[in-house]
Amino acid sequence: MSGAYFPPAPDHVPPERIVDFDFFAVPPGLEDPLEIWRELLRRDVPHIFYTPRNGGHWVFLDYADVVEGYRNHALFSTYQTPIPPLDPFPVVQPQGVDPPEHNVFRRLLAPLFTPIAIRALGDELRSRAQKLIEPLAARGSCDFITDYAEKLPTGMFLHLMDFEEERLPEFLALSNTFFRSTDPEERGRNLEEIFAVLNAHLSAKREKPWDDLASAIACGTDKAGNPLPWGDILNCGFLLFVAGLDTVTNTMGYIWRYLAATPEARAYFRRYADDRAMLQSGIEELLRINAVSNLFRRCQSDFVYKGVQFRRNDRVVLPNNIANRDASIFERPDEIKLDRAVNTHVTFGVGPHRCVGSHLAKHEIMISLIEWFARIPDFELAPRTGDVGAFGGSVMGFRTLPLRWTV
């Protein structure tokens, strides 16, 4: 956390590359935590810099370097990257393992998350979205985060993993503590609880498999047909739990916040409700501008990259949102153009660890937009009573988004 004490940087970091920056610290009153990145750009800092905050780490701000961080796993590893360092931390499968080993679990997950597999989930997703939106539509107001954005992806996770639907509140609570708690004791307990839930469920699935995601992991084998280590299977379940819930929730929070404040954007989604291509380009642009994730990498060895000395085990933060606003790649990057023709954003990462759930995430957002606008064609931000609860860290967002509309 920021404070008067400014920790020293290691010797290999030249003073001109040291910046005091804490991506967990959201100044009081700031409603949009992504602003702390944009404020950084306004300070005109080096685009590869080091901050001693949160255990000390590098930050890449240019698109080309963020892409290099994703693709060049010989330099930038995904193994053991938590910031601030957290020990012990599970080696999440396959996200926390470098190629080619990451392919053992990637191979199990990939067929279940292809565009073909996700399209087959369309009816399930649509009916879930409708069930959530219909009662809200009649009410004339809601808190978009707690009434919708948390419930849809978490409910879908329960469906894919074949957990009982009644366990939704339990999973919401586990997920909220995991992402927001800063109390080490509570974090430790929370991690134990998550693993206990996964262990019980995946054990049952290994005994009695069905055609669901949990069974696919629990009964996973390597290419020779040998069962995979149980610890890795649990860690893969853990990845699905942490990667697919909070990210979609907060991305949707940002998207609906923007829509509520922007009549032309609402008109766009009403106008193109039946036009798949226009819907998709609109969603890609909203994903570009509202990228909420900051990914971490760890240096594999001592090396010089772009004239900068890095040391083995140095951490690097890759802020997708800033890469997505690089003027050398995106025309008028800060302008939101829903019909932007060329949009190679890195919101889902690039390279071998491209977000395996990206097609599910996009489908959840698309179906939510269609079903929402069909029932709530116009809406606006409602006055808030308390703080917006903005938070930084690996996933940025806010805890509340009150909306209202005429019934």
User: Binding residues for other proteins, per CB under 8 A?
Assistant: 110-111, 113-117, 277, 280, 284, 341-346, 348, 350-352, 354, 358-359
- Give, in degrees to the nearest 5, the angle at Cα 396 between 259 and 268: 15
Shortest Å distance, C-beta 366 to other proteins: 10
Which CB sits closer to other proteins, 118 or 252? Answer: 118
- Tell me the two tokens of residue 404: 């209202």
Shortest spacing between CB 67 and other proteins, in angstroms = 9
Alpha-carbon gap, residue 274 to 277, rounded angstroms = 9
Give the C-alpha distances (Å, rounded to integers) separating 298 from 65, 194, 377: 14, 25, 46
- Minimum CB separation from other proteins for residue 260, in Å? 26
End-to-end CA distance of the chain: 44
What distance in Å separates the CA atoms of residue 90 and residue 88, rounded to the nearest whole number? 7
How far, CA to CA in Å, does 23 sit from each of 77, 184, 304, 315? 21, 19, 25, 14
- Beta-bridged to residue 296, according to DSSP, are 317
Please say which residue, 179 or 330, places its beta carbon nearer to other proteins.
330
| Minimum distance of other proteins from residue 329's CB (angstroms) | 10
Q: Which amino acid, one-letter code, is at 77?
A: S
Q: 126: which residues sit within 8 A by CB, 6+ positions away?
A: 367, 371
Q: For residue 166, with 0-12 CB atoms within 10 Å meaning exposed, 13-18 middle and 19 or more buried, which class applies? A: exposed
Contact 87, 370 (CB under 8 A): no
Residue number with CB closer to other proteins (2 or 344): 344
- The nearer residue to other proteins, 54 or 290, going by C-beta atoms, is 290
Least gap, CB of 72 to other proteins (angstroms): 14
Q: Cα(15)–Cα(36) distance, rounded to whole angstroms?
A: 22
Shortest spacing between CB 39 and other proteins, in angstroms = 27
Compute the least distance from the CB of residue 221 to other proteins, in Å: 16
Between 20 and 339, CB nearer to other proteins? 339
Distance between CA atoms of residues 188 and 255, nearest Å = 32
**138 versus 277: smaller Cβ distance to other proteins:** 277
Closer residue to other proteins, CB minimum distance, 33 or 282: 282
Minimum CB separation of residue 80 from other proteins in Å reads: 23
Q: Which is nearer to other proteins, 174 or 356 (CB)?
A: 356
